[in-house]
């Protein structure tokens, strides 16, 4: 991705940037010319290493915030020091794999908190910042979702429910913000090579790959490239759930 995609200085916020899709997205946006604001929670040292590497490699300004995105206080404090933003990428997410009957209240609430509530918190704070921009579009929101939010997955009812809600939230907010020149889209990921799928055995992975027309697992960098493309798409493209799944679903 070349910096020509960004003609003027722009800033992007990426949540959950310390690994996987978030890490790859941060790198792709830095390569495209964005300054970055990155959040992480479980791997603060890795987040700082990523930030330092991106600053050195792409000569971009990278700011980090360590905290729980499901905590509205953390989100509000982060935005209180933010004077400019052009792109919000809601990537932070967790998964729970297991029978619904065995799931605790805490696990359900945690899944919803990170995967869904955090998007409400960040969007609520980002919108006023976007509206200060004298640009068209005024800002963009890209939510990282999942194909399970479209078709559902056995033993992942909570995750599927949270991502289905993200898709509906994306479509509704896109309609709400269209008059304000703020496109809102989501990228529904298929089977991607991330730690979230680390619980699968090699045999289980091969069984899933056999169902994918592209005949392979997807790469975090491919999702990141889709984010950059969506970030440079015509502003008239809004409310879309863009599936990146190798033709699987």
Return the active site residues: 159
CA distance 15 to 119: 10
Q: By C-alpha distance, which of 23, 79, 12, 69 is closest to 49? A: 23
Distance CA 68, CA 49 (A): 19
CB 178 within 8 A of CB 240: no
């Amino acid at each position: 991705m070349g910096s020509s995609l960004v003609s003027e200085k722009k800033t992007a916020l990426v949540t959950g940037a310390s690994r996987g899709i978030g890490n790859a997205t941060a790198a792709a946006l830095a390569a495209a010319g964005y300054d970055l604001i990155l959040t992480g929670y479980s791997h603060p040292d890795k987040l700082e290493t990523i930030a330092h590497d991106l600053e050195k490699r792409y000569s971009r300004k990278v700011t980090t915030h360590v905290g729980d995105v499901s905590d509205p206080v953390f989100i509000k404090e982060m935005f209180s020091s933010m004077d400019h933003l052009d792109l919000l990428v809601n990537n932070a997410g967790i998964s729970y794999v297991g029978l619904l009957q065995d799931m605790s209240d805490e696990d359900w609430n945690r899944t919803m908190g990170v995967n869904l509530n955090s998007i409400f918190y960040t969007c609520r704070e980002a919108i006023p910042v976007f509206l200060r921009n004298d640009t068209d579009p005024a800002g963009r929101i890209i939510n990282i979702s999942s194909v399970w939010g479209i078709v559902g997955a056995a033993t992942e009812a909570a995750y599927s429910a949270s991502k289905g809600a993200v898709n509906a939230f994306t479509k509704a907010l896109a309609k709400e913000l269209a008059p304000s020149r703020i496109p809102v889209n989501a990228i529904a990921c298929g089977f991607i090579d991330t730690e979230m799928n680390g619980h699968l055995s090699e045999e289980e992975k091969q069984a899933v790959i056999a169902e994918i027309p592209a005949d392979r697992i997807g790469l975090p960098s491919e999702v990141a490239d889709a984010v950059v493309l969506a970030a440079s798409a015509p502003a008239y493209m809004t409310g879309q759930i863009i599936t990146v799944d190798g033709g699987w679903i």
